[in-house]
């Protein structure tokens, strides 16, 4: 389990490094092709940080409201409350707010800016269909997202994706006006063509890296959750039950889909679908957990 955790952490950091390097390269390309210097990068960073900062401060509340979640106290559901409380004590985490989503689809998600300000949401379908050890596994997975600061990482990645989108838009506009003169003067036509191709593709490349990071963090949370419960089979059993459930959730949208324990729409069964999925295949997650036993 420790080897799995270390491996997933390394892969996440490698992907982030590639992402940052790619953005710096795009910024350098812009400064060479256009006459604006590093101004586009600075403007892109400012706008992205402003937009994501607003969503970061209220993102958890928006996600909970969009999913139809309502907060519960210990007296409302002592069974669920005690499970979460015991796992929090084991993990050394403060108690998050517990929310219930009235939905027959078995699923869950965690949200919040930090362990001190976090929430966990479970669907009624998850609570009703899972055995105790399976429900513990899912809760441990979500608490691991909180402990690993995955929400904060996701926010950083969203900033980078936003920067790429803004930079590509600035490049396409600038190349039509101020950039052409410089390219012709300095003989940078080839560089301009390469730059146009890269920057047009950059939002797609950025999105693919974002999804790859999201999938690696799911594997990391699985491994961390299994370490927390000391029973990987519980989480593996929960994933197998979810695998058999074919109906999408009642209330879900693309903005919150990546937060959930399992893909709230459906599981991608082919390579292309897996490439654009926010979650790794459930079968791959079960296999990784079984290899820990």
| Residue 69, H or E segment | strand 69-72
Q: Are strands 117-123 and 108-114 parallel, antiparallel or unpaired?
A: antiparallel
Active site residue 128: no
Q: Which of 236, 232, 222, 218 is nearest to 279 (CA)?
A: 218
- Residue with tokens 């390394």, as numbered in its chain: 10
100 phi and psi angles, rounded to 5 deg? -115, 135
Options 97, 134, 136, 142, the catalytic residue: 142
Kindly report the CA angle at 44 between 42 and 46, in degrees rounded to 5? 70
Q: What are phi and psi of 116, to 5 degrees?
A: -80, -15
Q: What is the 8-class DSSP label of residue 133?
A: H
Contact status, residue 40 vs residue 171, Cβ threshold 8 Å = yes
Backbone dihedral region for residue 160 (phi beyond 0: left; psi -120 to 50: alpha; all else: beta): alpha
The total of other beta-carbon atoms located within 10 Å of residue 37's CB is: 10
Q: Which residues are catalytic?
A: 142
């Amino acid at each position: 389990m420790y080897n799995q955790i270390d491996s997933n952490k390394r892969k996440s950091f490698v992907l982030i490094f590639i992402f940052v390097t790619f953005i710096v390269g795009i910024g350098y390309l812009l400064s060479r092709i256009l006459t604006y210097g590093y101004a586009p990068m600075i403007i892109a960073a400012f706008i992205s940080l402003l937009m994501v900062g607003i969503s970061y401060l209220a993102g958890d509340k928006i996600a909970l409201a969009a999913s139809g979640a309502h907060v519960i106290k210990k007296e409302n559901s002592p069974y669920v409350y005690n499970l979460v409380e015991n796992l929090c004590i084991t993990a050394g985490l403060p108690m998050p707010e517990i929310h219930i989503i009235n939905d027959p689809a078995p699923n869950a998600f965690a949200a919040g800016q930090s362990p001190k300000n976090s929430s966990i949401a479970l669907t009624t379908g998850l609570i009703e269909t899972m055995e105790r050890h399976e429900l513990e596994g899912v809760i441990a997975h979500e608490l691991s997202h909180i402990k690993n600061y995955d929400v904060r990482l996701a926010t950083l990645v969203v900033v980078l994706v936003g920067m790429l989108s803004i930079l590509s838009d600035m490049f396409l506009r600038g190349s039509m006006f101020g950039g052409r003169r410089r390219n012709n003067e300095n003989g940078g036509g080839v560089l301009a063509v390469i730059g146009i191709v890269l920057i047009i593709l950059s939002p797609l490349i950025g999105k693919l890296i974002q999804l790859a990071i999201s999938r690696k963090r799911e594997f990391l949370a699985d491994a961390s959750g299994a370490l927390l419960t000391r029973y990987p089979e519980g989480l593996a059993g929960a994933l197998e039950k979810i695998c058999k459930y074919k109906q999408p959730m009642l209330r879900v949208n693309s903005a919150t889909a990546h937060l959930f324990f399992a893909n709230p729409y459906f599981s991608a069964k082919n390579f292309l679908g897996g490439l654009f999925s926010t979650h790794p295949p459930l079968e791959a997650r079960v296999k990784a957990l079984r290899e820990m036993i």
